[in-house]
Structure 1
Amino acid sequence: MLRTLINYQRVRAVHVHLDAAVTGLGGNSCGQGPPLERDRVKAMPTSIGFIIRPIQNNDMMEKVQVATAGDAPISIVRSSNGEVSMLAGNKSEPVLYRLNNAKASVYKAPFDLRAGGTLTAWYQHNEKLKVTQQYTKIETIPMEVVFASSEETGEGDAKNLLDGDPSSIWHTMYSVTVAQYPHWVDFDAGSSKTIKGFTFLPRQDGPNGDIKDYKIQVSKDGKNWEDVMSGSFERNKKLKTVRFEQPVKGRYIRFTGLNAQRGDDYASCAEFMVIAE
């Protein structure tokens, strides 16, 4: 229950801040490390709601005892790997979905939608809350980080490059020592892929570590590396999409930052994905 006393002669607007969770404080450069696991807020869809009821004659206690009613909406989420999940507020009500013009199916578990399409979902006995999402084809491929030349553990882990969350970043070490360029991260695509390019999203919350010049290499075994291309990023926070002149084959991909936009020793990146056939 939230109770707010307001002087209407002085306040022009009322703001209510709703948080699903609030993370704890801490970091490698302050205290004993990152927040405890139970205090961390992960990038995941969360359904929350609220009810606003007018209060008259100090009858707040009577009003708040009114039971909530209505249907909770359906949330459709597609991960960076193309896996679609549906979160239904009404747990007991089956959810139906249709992809493009196909026959309706009952949603039972997450499924792959890398090919894209128009997805519509609704409750089996209630179509009022029907929700539709359109998805484009995903050209990027699933990968995992197998090595990073430097990372700020707990805050700037290299695995953050692949989590689909632009607010989490890879950042080279700075709390214990400051690692110097070049900085690189090795990715494993799981098997040999035909690679056509990559996307690079700079960190969105500050300028530290913005990379200027870079180099891309590929490998079949993770030991012998072949140079593919080198280039320079523009100095802005926009998503960078780089396509190779000719596709290359490889299982492992190494991205190397050669220097920073501001000339400092840090390197950072929010998201990195490889474009492949």
Structure 2
Amino acid sequence: MKRLHPFLLLGCCLVTAMSGCKKDQASAPLPVDGLKAYAGKNRAKVEFDVPADATNGKVFYGTGNFVEFDVTDASAMQEVMVDGLAEDEQAIRVVTINADGASSTPRGVMVHVYGDKYQAGLKPRKWLDQVNKDPGSIELAFENALAGEDGVRVVYTTTTGAKDSAWMEASQNIVAISNINTDEPYYYYSVFLPEAEAIDEFWSAPVDLKTAVMLDFKKEAWVIAGTSGEQAGMEAAKLIDNNVNSAWQSQGGGSYPHWVTIDLGTSKLIDGFYYVNYQGPGKSAKSVKFELSDDNNAWTTALETQVQDSYLRQRLAVGQTVSGRYLRVSVVDAYDGSATSTAQIAEIDAFNTQNASGNNGKDAYSSSTAVALVNAKAPFVGDGSNPFPALGAFRMQKMQGWTHNSAAVVSFDDAGKSFSLFTANVWGLSTVTNGKVYQTVNLQPGIYSLKIKVAHADGPCDALGVVAAPGTMPDYTVLKTSADTWRYYDLVANQNKTVELVFAVAQASAVNVGIVYNIRDQYAATGTPWSSFNLNGMELAKIE
């Protein structure tokens, strides 16, 4: 047998190998054509055309993951769903395989996959209003569509108890719904497509429309449903007209309480009220009561509280969320102490966690000019007297610059430089009845605000902050009804607070501002030999 030369043998092998490679290349199917991927929620739909000889293939994603597919009709567009994709940009690669098992060159495409992160950032389109057309028929109004929004879906219960929904296109702002039972929950959500050709919808968080309607006050629709009385030009409707320069005033001569009932249109969720006093001279309400009802018949008290004698807006929190269609506002009594005087209120609003019915009144005076009071701010100064040396020489004194009647023996404690109305009966300093500590200021015409910074009581006492006509301060027993009393405030009931007394001066006049008080002994009850009432100061300002 002849031996082949080594080079000839190597040449034969190379020829054979090259022939095999050419055969493999010739038998491999062509790559896919028209490859496109459509975004979805943690998935993507992949579309492509396959060559005529393809029998199956693979769609690769991630790191080595793939989905296999079979080709039943090579002339048709192929669709493959790829699930379990992470939310982010994803690379998709497709190969086809023929009957010989040969694979095509891969073709790739990028797709943005969406998921929980995208959905969590979606907000519902803002709801504006609900119009009740007739029983079982409503119209809902919305602001313009948000970016990427496809529309709004409203889900509700029909009057026959079936579940149903209504669709509003992104280009629309109003959707009409008939045959709806609004006593049952109904809600809406915005539907989004992250891309125009996305295969999945994404929904915003739902908005409970029944609650939304109850949170929306729509004050312009409020009407007066009843009143204990009103005066011409100061009708009950002025209480809700969004104008603090107008006011409701009850009829004169009637006894308290004076009240107004407001129909809010539908039941509302309420966390509190804004209260604005009449903005002119007059007798202010002292205690007010807010009641709620669903039928204007059975009433539940939401809040009964004392309001300040102030021109500023007062926020009166209920302490819990309450609801009702009808609101009754009652003036229980007034600062003048009369049982039959008229009541005056400028404006009432309601608020909840999301809305307020109006922004009426002011939180601070736009124009305020301080009026100097003598020795009215800490640290206080004593007058150097020594009326009660039992506690140490010159410790207990009188407030310098203030007028004291004979019952007001001690008003200053040098140990703390404090404004302290004091008695110690068991030590020889008698209890105080009808004590008066005040000063007189000369004022020009205008509206004034006296703020009294109340500290605390230690023992049984009565203390009224007072604005009164010039001359001697009215006695405690008649102060609340005296014609000389312009304003007064119960300080014991407002410890650790700042209270305000607003009063008008019609012509240049001297005015007394100060305190009328009683301090009783507590030794028998508590063993404490003294009783006191303490103040942190007073401020007087012209506000108009």
Give the TM-score normalised by the residue count of structure 2.
0.24
> So what's the TM-score if we normalise by structure 1?
0.47
Q: Decide which structure has greater strand share.
A: 2
Q: Which has the higher helix share?
A: 2
Q: Which has the larger radius of gyration?
A: 2
Which of the pair has the greater relative contact order for Cα pairs under 8 Å at 6+ separation? 1
